C-alpha cells in the first residue's frame, strides 16, 4: 500500500503518541532535542513549528502559548495537538506554502524527520527565509541515510510506502546555504533496541554522548540530521 504523508499521518494520528512518543527513550530524545533548540537560540521570540504533529515539542518546552504557532498538513495530527494543548494555536498548512506574512517569526523549528517529507525541500527553505525576521533562527531535523532501511511507516503492523527522502549531513546543510552561521549536528547512532532498556537519565546521557562524538565526527552514521542557522 502507498499513501501520501498527509493520509498516512491522518490515519496514524490517534495512535501516534503511543507508537512513537510513548516510551522513556523517546522522552530522552525529546529532552535532548529541546536542549539543542534552546542552545541554538531557536526558542526565542515568536516561535513557528513546521510539521508540529501532535505537539510533542510543547511537552518539553516552556514556550508560552502567546509565542507559539504550530502548523502541520495533517488534520488528524492537529486534532490530537489541539486536544492535548488547548491553550496553543495550530493551523493546517503545507510547509512549502505557509499562510503567514513575511518576516513574522523569530524562531522556526521542524523536528524529528519531518523535513524529509518535503517533496520540494527548496520550497520549504524559501518559505523559512520568507517568514523569518532578519536575525531569526531555524532548527530543522531530517532523517539521515542510515534510516533508509528502517520500516518506519506501518499501519496495523503492515509496512506502508510513504514518500520521503533521507538527507545526508552535507546535502541538508547545502540546502540552507543562503543563511548565516550554518551548523550541522547529528543525533541517534545506537539502534533504539540497545538503549530502550536504560532508565531515562542514562538513555539521555547516552544520546548526548553520541551527539558529541559520532554526531560531530561521522554525522552520516546517525539516524537524525540537524541543521541550524540564522536568517
* C-alpha gyration radius of the chain: 16
The three cell numbers locating residue 6: 498527509
Minimum distance, C-beta of residue 23 to ligand SAM, in the bound complex (Å): 14
Q: Residue 152: what are its φ and ψ, rounded to 5°?
A: -75, -35
Mode of pairing for the β-strands spanning 132-143 and 180-187: unpaired
User: Rule CB under 6 A: is residue 9 a binding residue for ligand SAM?
Assistant: yes
Q: How far is the CB of 26 from ligand SAM (least distance, A)?
A: 9
Site string for ligand SAM, 31-70 (x = CB under 6 A): --------------------xxx--x--------------
CA separation, residue 136 to residues 61, 93, 109 (Å): 19, 21, 11
143 or 195: whose CB is closer to ligand SAM?
143
Pick from 88, 113, 136, 187 the residue near ligand SAM by CB under 6 A.
113
Q: How far is the CB of 157 from ligand SAM (least distance, A)?
A: 18
Among 32, 77, 195, 227, binds ligand SAM (CB under 6 A): 77
Beta carbon of residue 9, minimum distance to ligand SAM (angstroms, whole number):
4
Other C-beta atoms lying within 10 Å of the C-beta of residue 165: 14
Binding letters toward ligand SAM, positions 131-170, x by CB under 6 A: ----------------------------------------
H or E element at residue 230 = strand 224-230
114 binds ligand SAM (CB under 6 A): yes
- Taking residues 92 to 111 in sequence order and writing x for each that binds ligand SAM by CB under 6 A, - otherwise, the string is --xx---------------x
Helix (H, G, I), strand (E, B) or coil at 214: helix
Classify burial at 152, counting beta carbons within 10 Å of its beta carbon; exposed 0-12, middle 13-18, buried 19 or more.
Answer: middle
- Our finding on whether 90 is near ligand SAM (CB under 6 A) is no
State how far the alpha carbon of 184 is from the alpha carbons of 68, 102, 156, 172, 187, in Å.
Answer: 25, 26, 35, 8, 11
Residues that bind ligand SAM (CB under 6 A): 5, 9, 51-53, 56, 72-74, 77, 94-95, 111-114, 117
Amino acid at each position: 500500500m502507498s499513501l501520501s504523508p498527509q493520509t498516512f499521518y491522518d490515519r496514524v494520528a490517534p495512535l501516534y503518541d503511543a507508537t512513537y512518543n510513548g516510551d522513556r527513550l523517546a522522552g530522552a530524545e525529546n529532552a535532548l532535542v529541546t536542549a539543542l533548540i534552546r542552545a541554538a537560540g531557536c526558542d526565542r521570540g515568536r516561535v513557528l513549528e513546521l510539521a508540529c504533529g501532535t505537539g510533542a515539542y510543547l511537552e518539553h518546552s516552556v514556550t508560552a502559548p502567546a509565542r507559539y504557532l504550530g502548523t502541520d498538513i495533517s488534520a488528524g495530527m492537529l486534532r490530537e495537538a489541539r486536544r492535548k494543548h488547548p491553550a496553543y494555536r495550530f493551523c493546517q498548512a503545507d510547509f512549502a506554502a505557509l499562510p503567514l506574512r513575511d518576516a513574522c517569526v523569530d524562531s522556526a523549528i521542524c523536528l524529528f524527520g519531518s523535513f524529509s517529507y518535503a517533496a520540494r525541500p527548496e520550497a520549504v527553505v524559501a518559505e523559512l527565509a520568507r517568514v523569518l525576521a532578519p536575525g531569526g533562527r531555524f532548527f530543522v531535523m531530517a532523517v539521515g541515510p542510515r534510516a533508509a532501511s528502517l520500516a518506519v511507516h506501518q499501519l496495523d503492523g503492515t509496512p506502508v510506502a510513504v514518500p520521503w527522502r533521507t538527507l545526508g549531513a552535507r546535502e541538508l546543510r547545502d540546502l540552507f546555504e543562503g543563511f548565516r552561521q550554518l551548523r550541522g549536528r547529528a543525533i541517534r547512532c545506537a539502534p533504539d533496541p540497545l538503549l530502550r532498556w536504560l532508565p531515562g537519565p542514562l538513555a539521555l546521557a547516552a544520546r548526548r554522548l553520541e551527539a558529541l562524538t559520532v554526531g560531530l565526527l561521522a554525522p552520516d552514521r546517525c539516524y537524525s540530521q540537524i541543521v541550524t542557522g540564522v536568517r
